[in-house]
Structure formats: C-alpha cells, structure tokens
Amino acid sequence: MAARAPDAMTGAMADKSFGTTVQRLVRIDGDKPTGLGILADEADGVTLVRSGRRASFGSYFNAFPAAYWNRFTDATAVRLLVTVAGSGVLEVKVSDAEGVARTFARMPITDAQASVDLPLDSFDDGGMAWFDVVAGRDDVLVLDAEWRVLGLQSDVAAPSVGIAIATYNRPIACIVQLRAVAAQIADGAAVSRVVVVDQGEKRLEDAEGFAEVSAALGERLAVIQQENLGGSGGFTRGIMEILESDCDLILLLDDDAEPGPEAIHRAATFAGAATQPVIVGGGMLHLDRPATLYTQGELWMPARSWMTTASPDGYDVDLQRGVMDVPGMHRMVEADYTGWWFCLFPREVVSRVGLPLPLFLKFDDAEFGLRARAAGIPTIGLPGVAGWHEGWASKDPTRTWEGFFILRNQIITGLLHSHQRRGGVLPLRILLGDIQLLLRLQYAAVRLRHEAIRDTFRGPDNLPRSIRTAQATVRALQSTYPDGRVVVGDDLAASPTRSLAQPTGAFSKTAWLVSELGRHLLIEARSDSRRRAEDRIPLRESKWWRFRGLDSALVESPNAAGWTFAQRDRRRTLESLRKSICLTWRLSRDWPKLSREYREATVHLSSPASWQALLGIDEEAPR
C-alpha cells in the first residue's frame, strides 16, 4: 500500500507555537553523499522507508548535539517533532559521551506528527540525540522533522547575521558561495547584510551570474572594492562594515567554500541562545570527498606553535555511515579556534578583543581565536554545522610565496600565545624543516623562510607598513631561484621516475637523513645534472627521502601548475644551513623580548583606529 500524507496531529505537545526550532530535517541531494543526511532511500523530496526496513537519522546533519545545548545555553529540554505518512514505529535514540547508545522512547506512528520531549540535563558529559523510523508491512514516508529547544530565557529567533566574504580573483567560486547564502536566506536564515570585499583584478561584478545572485540578495548585498590586503585585510574590512549596521552576529565565509545545509541558521540560533559570548565554528568537509570531515575545530599546541584537530577521532573522519561510527562526535569538545571558511561570533567579541591583526594571510584566524580564548570567549565546533572547502592534500604552500607568511605568522602567533620559554621547540623545528627543504633542493623556499624570520625581527610596527608590499617582494625574491620558477620542461626531459621505498623506523630515517645531508655538504653536484633533470617527481611524492642521491629533478609545482627545475648546489646548501642555524638561534635568544613587543602592540594593531588608518577610511565618512 502506498503511504499517504498525514491528515492529523497527535498530542497537544505537537503545537508548533511552543519552543524554538533550531534544527530541521536535512536531505542531501546533488553530488553530496546522502549518508550525511539520512541513512535510507529517498524519493521525491521525502524519505522512503521500505516495508520491514529501518531508516536511521543518526547522521552528521540530522543528529542533535544535545550536550552542547545543555552546556552553553539555558535550554531545559528539546522537543522532537516527526511527521510521517504511513504506519511504522518511531524510536528516539540518545548516546553518552562514550558513544554508547540507548533507546529513550519507542512509539507507533501512523499518518501523523509525533512529539517527544528529551530533558537536556542528562547530557552533562556529552552525547547526542537522533531518531530512527521502522516501517511495518507497508512503506513509510518521513515527510518532515525538527528539533525545538524549550525553556530558553531569551528569544533566539531574533539575532540577525551579517556575512563578510573576502575574495581575490575567484569570481565564479564567490558567486557559488553567494548562491548558497541566498538559498539559506530563502530557507529562513536571518541574514540582513552580506558584504563582499573584492580585492582582485577579476571583478566579481563583471562575472557571469552576478546579476542573478545580486537580485536574489537584494539590498542585503554590498560589494566593496579595495586593494589586495590579504584575507586579514579583506575580512577585517567586512567586519568593520557590518559593525556599522545593526547586525547581532558576524559570520566570516571563505569565497571558495560552500556552507552546509542550515549551517547559518543553526550557528546563529546557538550563538543567540548561548549564556555567554561564543564563537561558533563550522566543520570543514572536503569538496573532493564530501563525506569526509577534515576537522570540526582546532587546538593550539604551545610547545610547537602549531595546530592539531580538536576531535579525538583525528583529521579526515569518514561520516558516511553516521555518528555511531564516530565515537568522538559524542564527546564535548571545545576548540581553541576555527577556520574562517565558517566562523560566526557576536559583535561583542570585537569590542572585547579587537579586530584581526594585519597578517595578510595565514594564522590570522588562529591568532584571533586564541585572543578570544584568552578573554574567556570559547570556540565551539558545533556538530551538524559545516561547509565544503577544498582540502590541503593537493597543495604544498611551503614551496610557494605563501611559505613566507606561514612561517612569519606562525612565529608571531607563538610569540603572542604560546608562553613558552625561548619559543619551546619551535626554533628547532624550523631548523629541521629547513634541512628537509634543502634535501628536497628547495633553496627558494628556505630563503623565504629566512626572510620570514627576519621580518619578525623587524617588530610589530612593520606589519601594517608591509601588508601592501610583502607579497610582491617575496614573489620577486622566489623567482630568482631556478626551483622557484615554473618551466615547461620539454627540453629538460627527465629519465623515467625511479621506484624508491620510503625509509621506515627512526633509525633508518635518521641514517638516510644524515647520509644525505653529508652528501649535500661535502660532495659537489654532477656537472651534467644542470643540463638534464635526473628524475621527475610528482607533487604527491615530493618528500625529502624521494630526492636521495639526486643532483637535479623536475618537481611538480604546487597546485599542479607545471614543473620546477630543482638543482643541488653545495655552496648554496652550506650558506643556507649556516643562515638557518644563526636565525633560529637568534629567534630563541630574543624570544622573550619579541614576545613583549608583539603583545604590547596587539591592542593598537587590532584597533578600529589602526585599521581605519591602514585602509584609508575616514571615521566620520558615511558608509
């Protein structure tokens, strides 16, 4: 028998005027895996549960993060409303912090809307909630479902969101992002302003599709053109524009990301209901592996001045089979910061901690989040809130001009937030990183890292002075090295790629490294290696051990844009290693002094007045 649409509601508890809807049923369509939404068949915009089968809604986008709502809001309970056509059984499941599930409620449901209330105080240590539908002799259609929080002292439907997007020469990707935002607004997201700061030569307003998305967003949309000041300059300009409006919340979105279903609504209602200011971070799902969660939030490792995922499951978690396969999803996890592919916070955060620092790009998101954490503002990587973004596996930014900003801003963030004597192990790790790059014949990358340390020594006042010129300077410097220039490679045709096994075990790796370093320091390169590359090394294989015994190689450039001709140079290796040792020693020696200087300058550098001067904005001029 075919399932029918419901013709009645069951129970007084199904009154939709009671409670605040914070999460609705998500169905995944298009090119995204359906397992992120519903673990069952789907048909015609509804979920079909075939006779005798079970559909689980314990998926990433449909499980309810009960522990977070219990910890950070004053909600006392959550109400689940499920509407079906047909006859079956509704089972409400809950888990604890260890991911152990139990059935909270089980009831028959026939052509109706069922309602179940779950007290939130049972989720003190962690846990999630979800539901399953089991069909009887006939198929069941799950038409709708939503979660409504009860007992809030304030109206969380009111907070309005202002979105800031910084873009640089990616108009098509940015239009895709704007379409996704417009779709979420049409679906109920309370967005009142969208500010796009366009810093590129390829203008967003000239791109195909802009007129359409501009019409969809209407008066909410503002496009501001300014010179390229990197992500920090673009996002900060967007934040400042939103602060001139009456928006309650500010959301930062990368131009080449796409927010997940209901992401804006879920993040905004959670932030609006929180009993203290919180930063709500969205997880990053891989664009090329849409069911793989790169991270839901990240932690700062002070000794290394580097990041790691906040999830106990590690990076790159497969979500295809639902939350029960991801034990860490059930635990309460606070992050130190979240990436700006999706980062939402109340405007109060800016008044308490200031604006981002003028770092151009890289580590600006980490530094801002760590500054907020120091002010008592936590970052919450809320499960079920995420966006799709290109992953890092196909990139090697340490070999590009970005390597300068990565290392310089890593050091600056460490000086501000790591509180380690002499920088912890960071100076040593920088030296070891330089050695590995030298063994990969990447002299340009090492030179840019040297410049990054020197730029740190110039002090915090140099940051606003150099934000306009640093990129061009380091790109020009990189191009003076053979391994810093992309070549065609036809006249440098390499012999077939060698098959070389990676060393395993600490002793083997150390022996290889010492042997190779000795060869680089003591033995001159073969003269014919400069005329013809001895090997061709793809990007994915560009590891230090892959260059063993080579004096030259064609190395695939980052982003697969071409090839660089890497050539071993004994004199350059000696000089580069000497400078690496001197610079890292000085960094360790001067760490306390530099740390004081940067901390004392942060309040000014992150102030609206400093940014207004940097951007050339008249404080009194109308926006």
3-class SS letters over 544-559: HHHHCCCCEEEEECHH
The DSSP letter of residue 224 is E
Residues in the chain: 623
207 and 310 share one domain: yes
- Tell me the pLDDT tens digit for each residue of 57-83: 999 999 999 999 999 999 999 999 999
Can you give the pLDDT at residue 494? 60
- Tell me the pLDDT tens digit for each residue of 492-523: 656 556 667 788 888 888 898 999 999 999 99
Task: Indicate the pLDDT class of residue 92, thresholds 50, 70 and 90.
Answer: very high
How many Å apart are CA 263 and CA 161, to the nearest integer? 12
Number of domains in the chain: 3
What average pLDDT score do residues 292-313 get? 94
What average pLDDT score do residues 7-28 get? 62
- Tell me the pLDDT tens digit for each residue of 17-26: 468 899 999 9
DSSP-derived secondary structure for 297-347: -EEEETTTTEEEESSTT-SSEE-TT-GGG-GGGGB--EESB--TTSEEEET
401 and 383 share one domain: no
414 pLDDT exceeds 70? Answer: yes
434 and 347 share one domain: no
Q: Residue 500 falls within a domain, yes or no?
A: no
- Tell me the pLDDT tens digit for each residue of 115-141: 999 999 999 889 999 999 999 999 999
Q: Where are the beta strands (DSSP E) in 2-86?
A: 20-24, 41-43, 46-49, 54-56, 77-85
- Tell me the pLDDT tens digit for each residue of 224-249: 999 999 999 999 999 999 999 999 99
Q: Residue 591 falls within a domain, yes or no?
A: no
310 and 427 share one domain: no
Q: Residue 606 falls within a domain, yes or no?
A: no
What average pLDDT score do residues 543-565 get? 89
Q: Residue 447 falls within a domain, yes or no?
A: yes
Query: Hey, what are 600's tokens?
Result: 């004392």
Last residue of a domain, one of 389, 421, 442: 389
How many Å apart are CA 404 and CA 505, to the nearest integer? 31
CATH of the domain at 146: 2.60.120.380
Name the residue range of residue 414's domain.
397-495+514-575
Last residue of a domain, one of 389, 406, 425: 389
392 pLDDT exceeds 90? Answer: no
Last residue of a domain, one of 389, 420, 446: 389
Q: What is the mean pLDDT of the chain?
A: 91
334 and 424 share one domain: no
Task: Give the Cβ contact number of residue 348 at 10 Å.
Answer: 13
Q: Residue 557 falls within a domain, yes or no?
A: yes
Can you give the pLDDT at residue 559? 72
pTM: 0.93
What average pLDDT score do residues 148-157 get? 77
Q: Residue 600 falls within a domain, yes or no?
A: no
401 and 360 share one domain: no
456 and 540 share one domain: yes
How many Å apart are CA 383 and CA 128, to the nearest integer? 10
155 pLDDT exceeds 60? Answer: no
533 and 426 share one domain: yes
Question: Measured on CA atoms in the order 397, 403, 405, 407, is the torsion positive or negative?
Answer: positive
Question: Range with the lowest mean pLDDT among 479-483, 500-504, 587-591?
Answer: 500-504
Q: Residue 587 falls within a domain, yes or no?
A: no
Q: Look at strands 46-49 and 101-110 and give their pairing.
A: unpaired
385 and 401 share one domain: no
Can you give the pLDDT at residue 42? 64
Residue of 404, 479, 443 lying closest to 576 (CA atoms) = 443
200 pLDDT exceeds 70? Answer: yes
Instruction: Determine what percent of the chain falls in helix, strand and coil, rounding each to the nearest 5.
Output: 40, 25, 35
Q: Residue 453 falls within a domain, yes or no?
A: yes
Can you give the pLDDT at residue 390? 87
Task: Give the Cβ contact number of residue 107 at 10 Å.
Answer: 13
374 and 453 share one domain: no
- Residues 112, 10 contacting (CB under 8 angstroms): yes
Q: Look at strands 298-301 and 306-309 and give their pairing.
A: antiparallel
Can you give the pLDDT at residue 15? 43
520 and 559 share one domain: yes
Residue of 198, 193, 201 lying closest to 220 (CA atoms) = 193
Can you give the pLDDT at residue 27? 85
190 pLDDT exceeds 90? Answer: yes
How many helices, marked H, and strands, marked E, lie in the chain? Answer: 15, 27
Can you give the pLDDT at residue 6? 34
- Tell me the pLDDT tens digit for each residue of 247-283: 999 999 999 999 999 999 999 999 999 999 999 999 9
Buried (b) or exposed (e) across 160-172, using 16+ Cβ within 10 A?
Answer: bbbbbbbbbebbe
How many Å apart are CA 254 and CA 364, to the nearest integer? 13
Q: Which residues are annotated as catalytic?
A: 365
